[in-house]
Amino acid sequence: MTASLRVSAEILELRTRHPFIIARGGSSDYRTVWVKVTDKDGCEGWGEAAATKFYGETPESVLAAINLYATAMPADPFDLEAAEAQWARMLRGNPAARVALSMALHDLAAKRVGVPLHRMWGLDAKAAPQSTFTIGLDTEEKIRAKVLEAAEYPILKVKLGTDRDEAILRTLRDTTDREIRVDANCGWTVTQAIRMLPVLEEYGVTVLEQPVVPQDIAGLGAIRRHATIPIIADESCLVATDIPPLVGHVDGINIKLAKCGSLREAIRMVAVARAHHLQVMVGCMIESSIAITAAAHLAPLVDIVDLDGAALLANDPFEGATIHGGQLTLPTAPGLGVTRR
């Protein structure tokens, strides 16, 4: 293919306001990869890769994969389907690396049309649901402080999967009467999850995300049979083909760009989930406003939005979609609509 699109990549050093801890660990320092695709007129499309160790990627593996994929750039940024298929054929896996290039091509294509990406997709920004704001694992005192600090957000998502989950919920409920959703990040056994269900109910939790390990689909189903709230698959659902086996075992799926590897795959996931009457959530990693904004353009298609990755940062280098007060506001500028701060 003609290399009329030039690719460059650099590492972004991101820092969260508070250490961001989930059931399998966490930190305050995160590194993502900023990918730029430049056409012959000097117009740039941007993307971001949030390498996740859990899914087998590091910033270094992303850079190596981007170098390879860069040898197969389409001559025309609108050749999205062919380009994404070609990258997946060249080197499997590496979804964060592939989605960064997918974001950059979508950014460039929508800039050429002169419309925001969600308009290129025919979506109405006003249809986007409110976003949650996540409270990571911490001491009870710090959790209370974080909840107060996040006073503007009407829906909180709390990370559980510890041996003091009930105490965390009690702290949260004693501090606020806002809506609470729970993400156990695979931290429970089926028995523990079923035992936790009445506790979640007591504290008015409205959604439970990924209680058990990814491969335990039957376990998700067993939990769902005891549950009065929706059970959402996150780590159990990476791409569209993961959805049919989940039908009957969960109430919905969580789409993350860094898991599915392409914006077009994300839209396919919405279609497959809807065809099976499943709820659709869009989530994120700890990432800057580039990746958050790319996901935010999909938000008008989904029921549950959890796009606080950039809001949790102390040093987001970019500006794009915002979630002030939980209200998701999409950029009106062409493309992703992301600018440097």
Residues at the site binding Mg ion, with contacts judged by CB under 5 A = 183, 209, 234
User: What angle, rounded to 10 degrees, do the helices at 80-90 and 263-275 form?
Assistant: 100
| Rounded least distance, CB 19 to Mg ion, Å | 18
Question: Closest Cα partner for 83 from 91, 75, 92, 74?
Answer: 74
Nearer to Mg ion, 83 or 258 (CB): 258
Nearer to Mg ion, 57 or 183 (CB): 183
Answer whether 88's CB lies under 8 Å from 261's CB.
Answer: yes
Answer whether 259's CB lies under 8 Å from 231's CB.
Answer: no
User: Distance (Å, rounded) from C-alpha 144 to C-alpha 58?
Assistant: 33
| Rounded least distance, CB 283 to Mg ion, Å | 6
| Rounded least distance, CB 198 to Mg ion, Å | 22
Nearer to Mg ion, 38 or 52 (CB): 52
Nearer to Mg ion, 47 or 211 (CB): 211
Q: How many CB atoms lie within 10 A of CB 206?
A: 14
| Rounded least distance, CB 232 to Mg ion, Å | 8
Residue number of the CB closest to Mg ion reads 234
Nearer to Mg ion, 7 or 232 (CB): 232
| Rounded least distance, CB 265 to Mg ion, Å | 18
Q: How many CB atoms lie within 10 A of CB 261?
A: 26
| Rounded least distance, CB 304 to Mg ion, Å | 11
Nearer to Mg ion, 12 or 253 (CB): 253
Question: Closest Cα partner for 225 from 197, 183, 192, 184?
Answer: 197
DSSP symbols for 273-304: HHHTT-EEEE---S--HHHHHHHHTTGGG-SE
User: Distance (Å, rounded) from C-alpha 177 to C-alpha 253?
Assistant: 26
